[in-house]
Structure 1
Amino acid sequence: MNNKKVCVVGLGGVGGYLGCMLAQHYDNIYFFARGERLESIKKNGLLLHSDAFGEFTTHPAKASNKADEMGVMDYIILSVKNFSLEQVCNEISPMIDRHTVIIPLLNGVSASGKIRNLIGKGRVLDGLIYITSGANKDFSIHHTSSYGVVHIGYERGNQYDENILSEVQKLLQSANITCVIESDIESAIWTKYILNCAYNVVTAYYKATTGDIRKNKIAIMQLKSLLEEACSVARKLKINIASDLEDVHFKHILQKQSESATSSLNRDITFGRQNELEIFSGQLLESASICQLKIPMTQFFYEELKKVSQFNKYFSS
């Protein structure tokens, strides 16, 4: 694997964690970043504070915002926010040829399809990650969970050589990144999406951590309702989710998740940044409309958070 070129695109909480883990084990890791983050990486490297792996600084083979400087990659891990996806896909095109394997780890349920349409070359897998991590003001990464699990697979109609999945799994697991190959990646993606449609929205609305939510009886009831609504949409779409998924997610949040954890949606809305509310609520509402389902709790949070998001964005600009 040291003969393969790997680029991590997007060095926030998820990409920063993966980039650090990979760069600690391989000499051929490239970082695609911009602005002050790029300058910080060039000057200081990228620092990871991990509850699971300790604290260390890594230096990529090269960090740049110019894809043509880094050349064609064998693997690209794409971990950016959905609202910047089109721009990023255009920027990284020089790093991709027909052999390049692209591993998208974005929120939502349609990222891989969008990437295939935008790039038009390479081999785009389907993927997701479970992790609790974020980027600090100094661009270092905090990883506050004992886990960081990548799931990969092929959606129906997009199969490539099965050996590719095994190669990606080997690449990641050799760097202490757990990687699971899914036989039904669509189900796995929706399983995580349903969790985000409830957890991210509730924590953003209450500006809360998991510990705060556990102390709020109303928030707990709303969380349960949001999970039920998202599951109802998935089942109407014939997604093969677990029959008790609402309860599984509900118990995980109330009993297992770190008390200090919160969501990227909460952080982004609080600081008036562009955010993924449209992915977590807007997209679910569109799917519900297609299915002729009413999801009133989701509708309520969507409308309220849009107001808060616009207000905070105005006063932070």
Structure 2
Amino acid sequence: MKAARLYAYDEKISPDSLKVEEVPEPEAKGPLDVVVHIGGAGLCRTDLHVIEGQWAPKTGIELPYILGHENAGWVHEVGSAVTSVSVGDAVIVHPLITCGLCRPCRAGDDMHCVAQEFPGITTDGGFAELLKTNARAVVKLPAGVEPADVAAHADAGLTAYHAVKKARMELLPGTKAVVIGAGGLGHIGIQSLKALTPAEIIVVDRSEEALQAAKKLGADQTVVADGGHVDTVLEMTDGAGADAIIDFVGEGGATTDGFAMLGRARNHYVIGYGENINVPTIDLISTERSFIGNLVGTYNDLAELMTLQAQGKVTLQTHTYQLDGVSDAIADLEGGRIPGGRGILVPSAA
């Protein structure tokens, strides 16, 4: 099969770091293994961070290996004990392969599985024609939902939904949520907020184009991040600050700005990453404001998100590339040139 494999870490995101080549097909050797024929594999900024080498100290994975952690397609082969899906079923793939036996898995916190594997990060991923995962990771797609249309939900959509689901208990009628970043993750988060909460949604972004799109997706107010946006948001909240910050940027000063826009005893949900948080501890203690990290989401979160997708309440804006064009796709992602919200690789044989 064809696959795009990473051969070298490169801080300059050189397209030459990835090579499309023929590799052996994965096989369902274990009883719970599932091999998925990829219909779409999402491009994510985490892929850039992987290529840059940021994840190397955490994973220790040996190069070369196949990237791609946002995957959807059709079941190609199943192990002897798999009963939840059959060959030919359309599925989206939860980004983690989990054991189901550890305490986090049994508590429904499967994204914290102690024996997890993370295809595209710690093992071979979905920038390929076939991907091996397990039965616990595959969610059947509702009728009429195509894999290429939802692949990015496997991480970007799931993470955005998971963060909003956490925040919804404090986003009651009359509250205000500030979304930082209206791009690939933010446009999903805005829709999730609209679907799950009655809160007024204020979106902050540098791009006027992105803010116009945010309005169409459900934003009640938009603010250009032009240096005066913190004061603008504070004025919009009568000086009290937001009831929740949903931060899809996490770099370039976003965490500092978000904390400054946040109300007392409220939470800053961090989804995007790239910078260190630098806040005096006295400011945390005296106001009881908190930062909350968000790691993908659970299997049930993904199943719920697919229901919202089928209902038309949360949709993705995507642009497709052939697998052979992965270098161009990575360059477009790094350069902010992908039309719409998310780039999707589609294997030519799909």
Band the TM-score falls in, shorter-chain normalisation: 0.3 to 0.5
Higher relative CO (Cα under 8 Å, sequence separation at least 6) belongs to 2
Greater share of strand residues, 1 or 2? 2
What TM-score do the two structures reach when normalised by structure 1? Answer: 0.34
Larger radius of gyration: 2
What TM-score do the two structures reach when normalised by structure 2? Answer: 0.31
